[in-house]
Amino acid sequence: MIKKLGILLMISVGVMSGCNNSAMEPEEINPEIDVCEVCNMGLAHEHYATEIVTADGEIYKFDDIGCMDEFLEMEPLLKEESAAKKYVRDVGSGEWIELDKAYHAYHPDFWTPMANGVVSFKDRESAENYVKEQGMGEVLDYDSLKKHEWSWGQ
């Protein structure tokens, strides 16, 4: 009996610890139910979605990089690198990329869910190609993005 209780306890602990996101990895978007933490808009445009994953496993989802930035302004402790990982998606492939490793194309006329004109890419070349194809815009790395002045619907 005690052996069975011990096994049951070990299985329960294993299942519960499996729910903890200690690796701070992003979670796939479910456009049917996921909504933005800031604007409460559905995440219908998955390739523009962003996420913050905290060290304690909390996941915050956003429809757009601008909403994620706004959330970080409201939650300054999450700006610390050890407190959370921030993810964006490559707009072409949907691949998750850590924010500080991504490149972005910006122009106020680029379409994004919240009309802020910042589109994310996994590498500089992809962002440069997007700007070239659109015939306008500029490429922002992480440091440039941190200095970016966010404004919607200009």
Q: Is residue 124 part of a domain?
A: yes
Instruction: Tally the domains of the chain.
Output: 1
Asked whether residue 91 is assigned to any structural domain, the reply reads yes
The one-letter code for the residue type at 9 is L
- The pLDDT tens digits of the residues spanning 7-53 come to 444 444 343 444 455 688 999 999 999 999 999 999 999 999 999 99
Domain membership of residue 89 as a residue range: 28-147
Q: Sorting pLDDT into bands at 50, 70 and 90, what band is 110?
A: very high
Position 52 in a domain:
yes
Long-range contacts of 67-76 (CB under 8 A, 24+ apart): 67/36, 67/37, 67/38, 67/39, 67/114, 68/38, 69/150, 70/38, 70/150, 71/37, 71/38
Residue 74 in tokens: 């409201």
- 40-88 pLDDT, tens digit per residue, is 999 999 999 999 999 889 999 999 999 999 999 999 888 887 788 999 9
Q: Is the pLDDT of residue 121 over 80?
A: yes
Q: Is residue 37 part of a domain?
A: yes
- pLDDT of 12: 41
